[in-house]
Structure 1
Amino acid sequence: MTELSDLELIRKTVRELARKFDYGYWREKDKKGEYPWEFVKAFADGGWLGAMIPEEYGGLGLGLTESAVMMTEIAQSGAGMSGGSAIHFYVFPPAPILRYGSEAMKGEYLPKLAKGELLMAFAITEPDAGVDTSRIRTRAEKIDGGWRINGQKIFITNAQNAHKILIVARTSPRDEKRPLDGMTLFFTDLDRTKITVREIEKLGRAAIDTNELFIDNLEVSDDEVVGEVGQGFRYLIDGLNPERIVVGMEGVGLGRAALELASKYANERVVFDRPIGKNQAVAHPLADSWIRLEAAELVAMNAARLFDNRQNCGKEAAAAKFLGAEAGFQACDRAMQTHGGYAYAKEYHVERLWREVRLLPNAPFSQEMVLNYISSKALGLPRSY
């Protein structure tokens, strides 16, 4: 288990690196919709992209606890979800490859991911399946030496620039008795002659592209199957718990960034001959958010510790996502309220954080689905879905 002093060193090092890219940098990236390659390169040069990749594959070999701390500091630096997602998608989507990929696959691609030489997309969600992954319609048909994939995916990050893609497809029909069986993971080239990529305009995180994909007769080899055919959903679960924990921690970082901006403004803004921060109507909501962010971090760090110790952490990971998203959004919203009319001015930056944190209550899955999960898993209530 990582010593506290080591975690504080990671916090300090990542904080110093991330804050070299100021709010002005992220404002321009958001305005122009430009991918933050300079930011990614800085973290690649520092070795951070390979945080959870073992040392034998060129990574740092750190755990989820350290990675969660790293992602919190990135979000809190002002990078928000623009910077968070840029690094997040190097660290976590490769998890199924790391755990279940062939030695050849790991040996070829993990070092490139660790160095930032390879960008990947992760294609799970579909327009008609919603949160019920068992009902995806993308299918892979067996052919000589491989598979032919057809289907559609939506809300896929990085597809404008990605070199490789991890695709979830059905390789056998849905069975009502075992609906999550029969899905397979494929790690293959993002072949733009077979995959049409259309960017989706969205509320926030404009620097990081989000897309819908149309897959038309994409042929992949048997060597590009991750793990066993038909076991793809089980492999996904191993990667989803870390993602939920880290999303919660990114929410904490975003909320703290907003509180920093709001506190500075509340100290400097004078109305009726007194700083507005002297008014309890301003101070108390911000203080309440500070408390909630602290609590959310404790839950997330406990979940990360369980994961690193190879203990079951499903409920704790779900709770971490729920609390981090809720506390982060509330803090950003209160920072908006603190700024009053100036909240709409982009030069104050808080509106970008508000737009970006609004994603977290819905992704990677909704708050309602968290409550559904906790109702059945923690309280033993009958499933409502």
Structure 2
Amino acid sequence: MVLVMTYHSLSLGITAACLGLAFLLGGALDVAGWLQAMLLAAAAITGLLSIQSLRQRFISAPLFKWFKGVLPELSETEQEAIDAGTVWWDGELFSGQPDWNKLLANPLPTLSAEEQAFLDGPVNELCRMADRWNINHNWKVIPEEVTDFIHDNGFLGMIIPKAYGGLELSAVAQTEVITRIAQAGQCIGNYIAVPNSLGPGELLIKYGTDAQRDYYLPRLAKGQELPCFALTGPHAGSDATSLPDVGVVCKGKYNGKEVLGIKLNFDKRYITLAPVATLIGLAFRLEDPDHLIGDKDDHGITCALLPRDTKGVEIGRRHMPVGEAFLNGPI
């Protein structure tokens, strides 16, 4: 009975009435006393909770006050993340009452002729080249001829605009590419997926300077630079707000010149492509105790591009997660 009422999302008032009716029916049918007592208690409690003023005063308000006191304050970065973006049909899905017609009214995404040709040509050829068994069990690494084919055919630049030498594929085409390749070889799929999702490419497109885009994007598109994104560490993974890694704004000498820079202290783990990456997208908390770039002490979580050969950067021993030979390791 309770499950049926829950499924139909009945109001508290109607639920209380149903429980009361069940209590009366149980009395007529001589149901066990303990069950009758439970039905009466449930009906009484639900009935009281159905009175909004009582519920807000004695339950909602005290709970809200307690949670407000125990939860940590949101940082500026966290608040920006919450406020960013909009809600599409997925919001209706989580409401429990989605409008399926609204979803079905959206036109089906299609591939362009150029994207279809890429799938039928280089993608299918790469799938034929993938030898998953030997890669995982014998070679323990993706063969050089395979990585050369990936670089030469622009697989690492699917997200990069054509103006910078990339393929500029749609999200639908990228999904189809990764799906096909991952089925042929998961490690090859990861090698391609990271630069087109978590890599610095999209960050450069949206937030980089013109000089950074002009230099890095063509190199990323052709595989001359191999990127990784260093977020996960021993004490923080998907919970990015728990990052312990810190960068402090400071002045100092770099390559013989007095510069304004960042002194970094970080420890990362399970970073895909780290063993071969030449360009690291590093996530850390930025602090400015001397107010060299503004009035705030804490600038929250930010990202920086860090060349592999930067002094102090160490790439540790490669991981072998779940027996797959895809490139993953600590920084």
Normalising TM by the smaller chain, what interval?
A: 0.5 to 0.7
Whether the 8 Å CA contact 1:47–1:114 is kept in 2: the answer is yes
Whether the 8 Å CA contact 1:160–1:197 is kept in 2: the answer is yes
- Cα gap change, 1:60 to 1:201, in 2 (>3 Å): closer
1:142 aligns to what?
249
2:44 aligns to what?
none
Whether the 8 Å CA contact 1:36–1:83 is kept in 2: the answer is no
User: Deviation per CA, 1:81-127, whole angstroms, max 9, x where unpaired?
Assistant: 21101111232212111111111111101101111111112100111
**Aligned partners of 1:4, 1:105: CA distance in 2, in Å?**
30
1:85 aligns to what?
190
2:321 aligned counterpart, secondary structure: coil
**Aligned partners of 2:119, 2:309: CA distance in 1, in Å?**
38
User: Deviation per CA, 1:166-206, whole angstroms, max 9, x where unpaired?
Assistant: 00010149xxxxxx971111002123751222222332322
Whether the 8 Å CA contact 1:129–1:136 is kept in 2: the answer is yes
**Aligned partners of 1:190, 1:48: CA distance in 2, in Å?**
22
Percentage of pairs with the same residue: 26
Residue range with higher mean Cα deviation, 196-205 or 181-190: 196-205
Give the AA of the match of 1:148.
Answer: K
Matched, 1:189 2:307: yes
Q: CA deviation at 1:27?
A: 2.3
**Aligned partners of 2:280, 2:124: CA distance in 1, in Å?**
32
2:135 aligns to what?
29
Aligned residues: 202
2:266 aligns to what?
151
Whether the 8 Å CA contact 1:53–1:60 is kept in 2: the answer is yes
1:60-75 alignment, distance < 5 Å = 60-75=167-182
1:13 aligns to what?
121
1:57 aligns to what?
164
1:153 aligned counterpart, secondary structure: coil
**Aligned partners of 1:131, 1:91: CA distance in 2, in Å?**
19
Matched, 1:98 2:205: yes
User: Deviation per CA, 1:324-345, whole angstroms, max 9, x where unpaired?
Assistant: xxxxxxxxxxxxxxxxxxxxxx
- Cα gap change, 1:75 to 1:188, in 2 (>3 Å): same
**Greater relative contact order (Cα < 8 A, sep 6+):** 1
1:195 aligned counterpart, secondary structure: coil
Whether the 8 Å CA contact 1:14–1:74 is kept in 2: the answer is no
**Aligned partners of 2:187, 2:141: CA distance in 1, in Å?**
10
2:267 aligned counterpart, secondary structure: strand
1:1-385 alignment, distance < 5 Å = 2-3=110-111, 8-23=116-131, 26-30=132-136, 31-76=138-183, 78-79=184-185, 81-92=186-197, 93=199, 94-144=201-251, 145-172=260-287, 182-191=300-309, 193-198=311-316, 199-206=318-325, 208-213=326-331
> Under a length normalisation based on structure 1, what TM-score does the superposition of the two structures give?
0.49
Give the AA of the match of 2:329.
Answer: N
Give the AA of the match of 2:328.
Answer: T
Q: CA deviation at 1:18?
A: 1.7
- Cα gap change, 1:195 to 1:35, in 2 (>3 Å): farther
**Aligned partners of 1:42, 1:118: CA distance in 2, in Å?**
15
**Aligned partners of 1:46, 1:201: CA distance in 2, in Å?**
27
Give the AA of the match of 1:186.
Answer: A
**Aligned partners of 1:125, 1:149: CA distance in 2, in Å?**
16
Q: CA deviation at 1:22?
A: 4.2
Computed over aligned residues only, the root mean square deviation of the Cα atoms, in angstroms, reads: 2.3
Structure with larger Rg: 2
- Cα gap change, 1:129 to 1:113, in 2 (>3 Å): same
**Aligned partners of 2:245, 2:159: CA distance in 1, in Å?**
30
1:223 aligns to what?
none
Q: CA deviation at 1:138?
A: 0.5
**Aligned partners of 2:156, 2:217: CA distance in 1, in Å?**
10
Structure 1 unaligned runs (5+)? 174-179, 214-385
Q: CA deviation at 1:152?
A: 0.8
**Aligned partners of 1:11, 1:50: CA distance in 2, in Å?**
15
**Aligned partners of 2:232, 2:127: CA distance in 1, in Å?**
33
1:134 aligned counterpart, secondary structure: helix
1:271 aligns to what?
none
Whether the 8 Å CA contact 2:249–2:287 is kept in 1: the answer is no
- Cα gap change, 1:72 to 1:14, in 2 (>3 Å): farther
**Aligned partners of 1:58, 1:8: CA distance in 2, in Å?**
19
User: Deviation per CA, 1:200-238, whole angstroms, max 9, x where unpaired?
Assistant: 2332322x221122xxxxxxxxxxxxxxxxxxxxxxxxx
Whether the 8 Å CA contact 2:135–2:142 is kept in 1: the answer is yes
